[in-house]
């Protein structure tokens, strides 16, 4: 099957969908509202399922070459003591592919390069679900206008209770580990090392939406300055103008369907989740491969989209629920007794427990694309 497909949204999900459709014979146009195609974020972790999806789309090799493999790290407390160590090599043995970290701009560029430039149109938005095409893919993000039009009763995104400040360092930083998460009361600080020696860091704070700081970096240096190495070093290696600040939103009420007629919802438009498991983009990449595979199996767009919904909705909503639970156990805990109980449980957990938890989401085999 093929035809004319319009993908609304040129984020990771929309570009991946366009690659899958283009490879399987569709004439694809990606419409992106923003003036330039990019990804407003710092860095991203991709687990094995995300990399396998990229493999199926033909861009896995390029992403692996640009990414940094994450072998060492784990979860700590602000004084630096370890709650759980992550054995990245054991994870790689179990699932075949290590976790990887890559700047978002780099991932986005590699996805763009897998498409003919003529597919991509920027500065074009406000498409509606009724617009003519054989297939419309709504990859327009957490605030999807197409989702709101298809499901006017759906309550839409809900603030997660947290705000995230993040950046990529301006220069290389000496790090002892590839990735870390540190949980203090009501706050998390983490890093992902990149192949070029720089790193992404993020600070998550339990916070109502809309709280902003005149000088975010000074605020963070005061808030996290006494935390263990490398937290202060990462902040010291960052330029004030590089700090991004976003409140995080999720779809707590699942959408009734990822498919309505010839319209497919994909990525955050379908299942925006909290970032606690680092799975949002990985799930968007899975969506893209399944969408292309089901459409290739025919016999009609409607039948293929109905199977896409049946495959993807249980999987992505399960991961979203797990991400929400993980958030409640992490930085959202602030009562000292609850923090102490969580920390004791993590220290006592058998060493394979973290790997088993990650494997639940990372173990995924893409359907073959023709």
Q: Give me the residues that bind ligand FAD (CB under 6 A), please.
A: 8-14, 31-34, 41, 44-45, 50, 125-127, 139-141, 145, 164, 202, 246, 248, 267-269, 275, 278-282, 284
Q: What is the β-pairing status of strands 263-265 and 135-138?
A: parallel
Of the two residues 151 and 343, which places its CB atom closer to ligand FAD in the complex?
Answer: 151
How crowded is the C-beta side of 147, counted as CA atoms within 13 Å? 27
Cβ 45 to ligand FAD shortest distance, Å? 4
> Are the beta carbons of 269 and 291 closer than 8 angstroms?
no
Cβ 248 to ligand FAD shortest distance, Å? 5
Q: Measured between alpha carbons, how far is 191 from 87 in angstroms, rounded to an integer? A: 16
Task: Give the residue ranges of DSSP H helices in the chain.
Answer: 12-23, 48-56, 60-66, 88-95, 104-113, 145-150, 216-224, 231-236, 268-271, 280-297, 301-329, 336-348, 352-362
Q: What is the β-pairing status of strands 187-193 and 199-206?
A: antiparallel
> Are the beta carbons of 163 and 245 closer than 8 angstroms?
yes
Cβ 257 to ligand FAD shortest distance, Å? 17
Nearest-Å Rg of the Cα atoms of the chain is 20
Of the two residues 1 and 148, which places its CB atom closer to ligand FAD in the complex?
Answer: 148
Of the two residues 177 and 343, which places its CB atom closer to ligand FAD in the complex?
Answer: 177
Of the two residues 8 and 301, which places its CB atom closer to ligand FAD in the complex?
Answer: 8
Cβ 112 to ligand FAD shortest distance, Å? 12
Cβ 44 to ligand FAD shortest distance, Å? 4
Cβ 239 to ligand FAD shortest distance, Å? 19
Of the two residues 230 and 327, which places its CB atom closer to ligand FAD in the complex?
Answer: 327
Of the two residues 244 and 349, which places its CB atom closer to ligand FAD in the complex?
Answer: 244
The distance in angstroms from the start CA to the end CA of the chain is 11
Closest to 255 (Cα-Cα) out of 333, 168, 146: 146
> Are the beta carbons of 127 and 6 closer than 8 angstroms?
yes
Of the two residues 13 and 157, which places its CB atom closer to ligand FAD in the complex?
Answer: 13
- Our measurement of the distance from residue 132's CA atom to the centroid of its chain's CA atoms, rounded to an integer in Å, reads 30
Cβ 334 to ligand FAD shortest distance, Å? 20
Q: Measured between alpha carbons, how far is 155 from 279 in angstroms, rounded to an integer? A: 23
């Amino acid at each position: 099957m093929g035809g004319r497909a319009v993908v609304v949204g040129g984020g990771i999900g929309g570009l991946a969908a366009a690659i899958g459709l283009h490879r399987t014979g569709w004439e694809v146009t990606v419409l992106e509202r923003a003036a330039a195609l990019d990804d407003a974020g710092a860095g991203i972790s991709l687990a094995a399922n995300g990399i396998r999806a990229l493999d199926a789309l033909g861009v896995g090799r390029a992403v692996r070459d640009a990414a940094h493999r994450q072998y060492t790290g784990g979860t700590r407390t602000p004084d630096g003591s370890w709650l759980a160590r992550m054995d990245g090599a054991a994870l790689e043995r179990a699932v075949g592919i290590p976790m990887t970290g890559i700047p978002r701009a780099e991932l986005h560029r590699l996805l763009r390069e897998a498409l003919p430039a003529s597919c991509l149109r920027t500065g074009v938005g406000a498409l509606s679900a009724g617009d003519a095409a054989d297939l419309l893919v709504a990859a327009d993000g957490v605030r999807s206008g197409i989702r709101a039009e298809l499901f006017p009763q759906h309550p839409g995104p809900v603030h997660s209770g947290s705000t995230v400040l993040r950046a990529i360092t301006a220069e290389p930083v000496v790090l002892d580990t590839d990735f870390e998460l540190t949980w203090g009361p009501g706050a998390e600080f983490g890093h992902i090392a990149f192949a070029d020696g720089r790193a992404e860091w993020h600070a998550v704070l339990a916070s109502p939406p809309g709280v902003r700081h005149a000088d975010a970096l000074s605020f963070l240096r005061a808030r996290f300055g006494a935390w263990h190495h490398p937290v202060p070093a990462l902040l010291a290696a960052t330029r004030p103008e590089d700090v991004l600040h976003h409140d995080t939103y999720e779809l707590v009420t699942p959408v009734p369907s990822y498919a309505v007629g010839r319209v497919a919802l994909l990525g955050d438009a379908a299942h925006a989740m909290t970032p606690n498991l680092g799975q949002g983009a990985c799930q968007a990449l899975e969506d893209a491969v399944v969408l292309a595979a089901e459409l290739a199996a025919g016999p009609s767009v409607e039948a293929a989209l109905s199977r896409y919904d049946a495959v993807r909705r249980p999987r992505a909503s399960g991961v979203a629920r797990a991400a929400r639970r993980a958030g409640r156990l992490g930085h959202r805990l602030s009562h000292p007794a609850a923090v102490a109980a969580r920390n004791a449980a993590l220290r006592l957990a058998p060493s394979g427990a973290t790997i088993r938890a990650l494997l639940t989401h990372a173990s995924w085999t893409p359907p073959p694309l023709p």
